[in-house]
Amino acid sequence: MAEGGYPSVYVVDSCAPCPQVPPRVSKGQRRATAAQTLLFLLVSVALCGMAIEACFIYRLYQRGSDTSASFSKIIAGKDITPPTTRPSVVIHPSKPVAHLTDGQNVVHEKHIMAWSMDADPLLYEMDYKNGSLLVQKEGFYYVYSKVSFLDTEIFYHSIELKTKLYVGKSIPLLMSREYPEKISSKMRSNSYLGGVFHLHRDDALFVKVSNSSKVRRYRSFENIFGAYMI
Ligand SMILES: *[C@@H]1O[C@H](CO)[C@@H](O)[C@H](O)[C@H]1NC(C)=O
Ligand SMILES: *[C@@H]1O[C@H](CO)[C@@H](O)[C@H](O)[C@H]1NC(C)=O
């Protein structure tokens, strides 16, 4: 009003807020609806996330129970879950493998050790017969054995090979000899043998000891014999 040229502008200005009032309100409403939409979206996203998470947890749980079942199969040598419920979970090794243990029912020969078939041993593409592991597939194998024994006299422990290439005699692959120095101080001892060998089909591996009566048989897993293709 003080400046001559501006009243018209003031009029315009004074009039300008009048029509602008409704848009302001609608802007607020828009904001409110936008906030609502945003909130709705956020809640939806959170719910979706929870659903996906639940799915992942369920799948992990399923996988976890599967692996624990197969683990227990390998360790205990027994399938706890009936095979009818999960036929697809049976896992085979990729190469021939055998792991044998001692057992209550096992009767050793004087020099050649026998191994338990009641313990449901791990035997894949290898056979067991009369104390011997029989090779089915030619290849390089890691062969091992561990025995626990009473160290009161000289004790030999060896892994022997019977092959068609040398008929009649077995070939010692690995051997350890224990000489007791002080009988009173060292009564119990262990021998572990392990090495890699090229084996042919129908080769037979067995564990020989100087006196199987000296072998300690407190627990079945104290005396073991095994082989696996590398
Ligand atoms: C088992 O092996 C032992 C020692 O090699 C042998 O004396 C015995 O005759 C074999 N028994 C059978 C049934 O083959
Ligand atoms: C084998 O060990 C048993 C038990 O210690 C003993 O009575 C027997 O004389 C041993 N046999 C030989 C051939 O050393």
* 119-132 residue pLDDT tens: 889 999 999 999 99
CA distances from 98 to 8, 46, 204 (A): 103, 51, 13
| Cα 112 to middle of ligand 1, angstroms | 9
Radius of gyration of the chain (CA): 39
pLDDT for the residue 212: 94
pLDDT for the residue 57: 74
Give the mutation target among 109, 130, 132 for probing the ligand 1 site: most ligand atoms within 8 A of CB: 130
Q: Where are the alpha helices (DSSP H) in the chain?
A: 7-15, 17-76
* 147-183 residue pLDDT tens: 999 888 889 999 999 999 888 889 999 999 988 776 5
Torsion of the alpha carbons at 72, 73, 78 and 81, rounded to the nearest 10: 80
pLDDT for the residue 7: 47
Give the pTM. Answer: 0.63
pLDDT for the residue 184: 58
